[in-house]
Amino acid sequence: MISLPHITAISPNRSLLHSFNRPVYTRRHDQRKERTTMSSSSSSPTTAKRVVLVRHGQSTWNEEGRIQGSSDFSVLTTKGESQADISRQMLVEDSFDVCFTSPLKRSKKTAEIIWGSREAEMIFDYDLREIDLYSFQGLLKKEGKEKFGEAFRQWQEDPANFVIDGHYPVRELWSRAGSCWNGVLAHESNSVLVVAHNAVNQALVSTAIGLGTEYFRRLLQSNCGVSVLDFIPRADGGSPHVFMLTLFVVQMQTPSSPIAGGSSGGRKASKQMILVCHGQGDNEASTNDQPMNMLGVIQSQKTAELLLDLRVASIVCSSSTASTETAGVISHVQEAAGCLGVDSVPRYVNTKQMNELDVDDIIPKSNKARIFITMRCKDIQSGWLSQLDEETVSTLWNRSKKAWESLLDKLSDEDTGDAMVVVGSSVAHISLIAQCLNLDKKCLELFHLDAGSISVIDFPDGPSQRGVIRCTNYTAHLGRWSVPITRSV
């Protein structure tokens, strides 16, 4: 066992930064230079800072199914360059102050395409390289299994403790992620673009919110997927509060639909849970149960259309009017798949209400309006949880735990098929995501979900094992009514 910096066991209330020296490359100077060592206190931002994380586009080794690691032989495919260009168009209105990127070819090219003609600084940071996988690098996945046997199995099933060539790659990656944050948060900027790789971006998100190496592969990112993190300074000058507007939003330009079964460590998901936030109502802050308005109806129809690519066997929803209406639209479109030309096999969808998904009766009337405004706000907000007293938060948390356990039991039932759709409110789904990740109830406000959005949880080892967050707050399917990937700070 190697001795690791305490970044691997960081808690949300502690500083996520350490003092490191590492090489940095800048486009302006086009030369290698040493970054100044910075203390935790000097690295904490004094003003709100937004960090947008992007994974590189599809590479030649992605396409071939090779293990890339930190090797630099792989380049973007034509598809990968197209993905990067679409990302450029989607982020063209964002006024980034600086771009940090891995210098590896696949990431560097993606960053240069997205950055376009911007004159602001571009920094090539070697610590943003992909995870170091030593002897695994360059092998096809099947070759890794044949050549390394037990070690490859451990890499797939227990990566946090995976060891190769005398190294613990995931532990080293977590330490390196802390070094990356040291430079990103210390930079004098309010809006930062970071272009890197799947594993290192997972480590960046995890270390920012205090998750250890056991969370590797729990927060995946597709090619050119985007994550948005807001760092809000604390009044006491301590570690900044981190608020995720979107967590691994899988963009429209990714190789596959966000509901297509993904893989984790080379293993396909055996079961899948799709969390659908019900369509918007006129006044969700009201104490009355609100039906969807016209926008909500459109959102539910767009969601139902997206889910046609998935054979839905079961829908579980809360008892609220908006949720049951959304579930009804999805069910009707699924059952009409034949006449819509999707397939000729009749579809029957079992729809069931689950009281544990209801939250309206938990939140006091006096808090609903303030929470509604906070959840709908377009700018940085991190205060919806603070509107609730401890008893209310505990009640919400305990109910969501029961709901999560019931959903897993239902998903384990072979009669539900491979995918289950869950329809409810944003607050209910945020609670389920936190339960999936086994987070503390204080972490509920780390996430933001919009009306009509979907979030996807994969289960590579079945519902009895840990779930993998494929994407959250996906709204690209809403077309002209989609929510911008980033919001202005």
- Per the annotation, where are the binding residues for substrate? 55-62, 106, 141
In the annotated binding site, the residues are: 55-62, 106, 141
**Residue 244's beta-bridge partner residues?**
229
Catalytic residue among 18, 56, 241, 448: 56
188 part of the active site: no
What is residue 480's three-state secondary structure? helix
d(CA 425, CA 357): 8
**Residue 138: left (phi > 0), alpha (psi -120 to 50), or beta?**
left
* End-to-end C-alpha distance for the chain, whole angstroms: 43
Catalytic residue among 18, 130, 356, 477: 130
Q: Where are the alpha helices (DSSP H) in 65-140?
A: 78-90, 105-115
What is residue 274's three-state secondary structure? strand
130 part of the active site: yes
396 within 8 A of 427, measured Cβ to Cβ: yes
329 within 8 A of 436, measured Cβ to Cβ: no
CA 443 to chain centre: 15
User: What is the residue type of 332?
Assistant: H
418 within 8 A of 425, measured Cβ to Cβ: no
d(CA 221, CA 54): 9
What is residue 140's three-state secondary structure? strand
d(CA 295, CA 322): 12
What is residue 293's three-state secondary structure? coil
Q: What CA–CA distances, in Å, run from 118 to 99, 121, 122, 293? A: 10, 8, 9, 41
Query: Catalytic residue positions?
Result: 56, 130
